[in-house]
Amino acid sequence: MRIGILGTGIVGRTLSGRLSHSGNDVMMGTRDVASLRERDDQEEPFARWHTANPGVKLGTFAETAAFGEIVVNATSGLASLEVLEGIGQEPLNGKILIDVANALDFSAGMPPTLAYCNNESLGERIQQALPHTKVVKTLNTMNARIMVDPRGIGNGDHHVFLSGNDPIAKRKVADYLRIWFGWKNAIDLGDITSARGTEMVLPLWLRLWEALETSMFNFKIVQE
Amino acid sequence: MRIGILGTGIVGRTLSGRLSHSGNDVMMGTRDVASLRERDDQEEPFARWHTANPGVKLGTFAETAAFGEIVVNATSGLASLEVLEGIGQEPLNGKILIDVANALDFSAGMPPTLAYCNNESLGERIQQALPHTKVVKTLNTMNARIMVDPRGIGNGDHHVFLSGNDPIAKRKVADYLRIWFGWKNAIDLGDITSARGTEMVLPLWLRLWEALETSMFNFKIVQE
């Protein structure tokens, strides 16, 4: 399957690496391919990561959006709308866009606040910007390692959430999450406005990271 | 133990009933005792509830705050600050105030928004209003039946969170939650600003209620 991953940070790399290793045709999108290859200001320079993951193609954001049969937004949440507006609607029309981003604003120091909150969410803003794209918000309530390997904690006995306006697109994404990564437990929260719910979990998630001294945890919904 | 419960809604009644039945000396606080006794606009009129729970004393908010060795804020979150300012600092000085309220604003329809959010929380606002009181935010991420009976779902294998500036007060409250209700798993999230985290979970909680068609669920943090 041809998958486009927008963003080359930890989340983009983790998703791209896993999807490429399991036989998908993956392109990763960035603002400027040449400068990404040359950057060495990151913990792991991109070039070194790419040497270990040679199957992943590299393109501009627009090339990556056009390439993917399905596209993932793994850009920084504060930049996502600008990136997607730069791409324009056409390359994404009719496609599923899996949005895994969170718009954490660190400009006023710690703890960060949410750039979209309470009566709006990044997921909704993206759906508004791309009216002919099926935006499905998911995976944004856990760290990148758990996204691609839910069995890595608690034998996979915990939950991932889905928000989106198109029920068929959500069912497809739930299937992909199972096939790609092994997700057994997905909860459909409703339309894209329910992305407020999962995005607003981030402040609790960050406090749990501090309290537990690890980010290797996830939420399980325990019922009767 | 003398416990004051501010608020006579579902949460106040559930907490008061359980604490009274297990041998505590409980007073429930309301704005106007006489009118509460006469009200019949609620699903269960207070008078009928009180007949089934005759051990619970009834007082004004100020009488209840003065009565309790420990006091619980179970008022509607939108009214909490006004109620507590009406009581004044003195009756609550030096005491632990357990804040279980959420400030859900339904004035713009469904879904509700949070009256305090992102860079503030109700818990913080209460701590600011009562600088000599040890405010501990807890129990606000679940329905009232689970608050007092965690073993009622998943054999109690799920979590309650604690936020507050006083570590000793938080340890005491964790002990009370275990002794009073059987809570085995409490996570200390940090100072009172971490109440933002648990209060901002409410939008997800409300969507889960819709999706699962029951409010009898709670969050478990699954770790490595």
- A36-63 tens-digit pLDDT: 998 887 788 999 999 999 999 999 999 9
Q: Which of A118, A190, A223 sits opposite B210 (nearest CB)?
A: A190
CB contact under 8 A, A200 and B198: no
B217: β partners:
A223
Annotation: CATH topology of B2-212: Rossmann fold (3.40.50)
Q: Which contiguous run of DSSP H or E holds residue B164?
A: strand B160-164
CA dihedral A106, B101, B73, B187 (to 10 degrees): -60
Q: Which of A113, A193, A219 sits opposite B219 (nearest CB)?
A: A219
Question: pLDDT at position B85, please?
Answer: 97
How many contacts (CB atoms, under 8 Å) link A and B?
129
Q: Give the count of alpha carbons within 13 A of B64, CB side only.
A: 32
Q: CA nearest B193: which of B143, B120, B139? A: B120
Average pLDDT, chain A: 97
Question: pLDDT at position B224, please?
Answer: 82
CB contact under 8 A, B204 and A197: yes
* Phi, psi (rounded to 5 degrees) for A95: -90, 160
**CA pair distance A146, A142, nearest whole angstrom:** 6
- Chain A residue with minimum CA distance to B206: A197
Mean pLDDT of A137-157: 98
CB contact under 8 A, B157 and A207: no
Where are the domains positioned within chain B?
2-212
Question: pLDDT at position A224, please?
Answer: 82
Angle at B134 between CA B161 and CA B184, to 5 degrees: 30
First-residue to last-residue Cα distance in chain A: 39
Q: What ipTM was predicted for this assembly?
A: 0.96
CB contact under 8 A, A217 and B223: yes
**CA pair distance B69, B1, nearest whole angstrom:** 7
Mean pLDDT of A135-161: 98
Q: Is residue B197 within 8 Å of A206, Cβ to Cβ?
A: yes
Spans in chain B with pLDDT lower than 70: none
Q: Which of B117, B187, B211 sits opposite A118 (nearest CB)?
A: B117
- Chain B residues touching residue A193 (CB < 8 angstroms): 111
Best mutation target, B105, B113, B118, B205, to test chain A (most A CBs within 10 A): B118
Question: pLDDT at position A43, please?
Answer: 83
Q: Is the pLDDT reported for residue A197 higher than 90?
A: yes
Predicted TM-score (pTM) of the model is 0.97
Break chain A down into helix, strand, coil percent, rounded to 5. 45, 20, 35
Question: pLDDT at position A7, please?
Answer: 98
Lowest mean pLDDT: which of A9-23, A41-55, A87-101?
A41-55
Which positions in chain B have a beta carbon within 8 angstroms of at least one beta carbon in chain A? 108, 111, 113-114, 117-119, 152-154, 157-158, 161, 187-190, 193-194, 196-198, 200-201, 203-208, 210-212, 214, 216-224
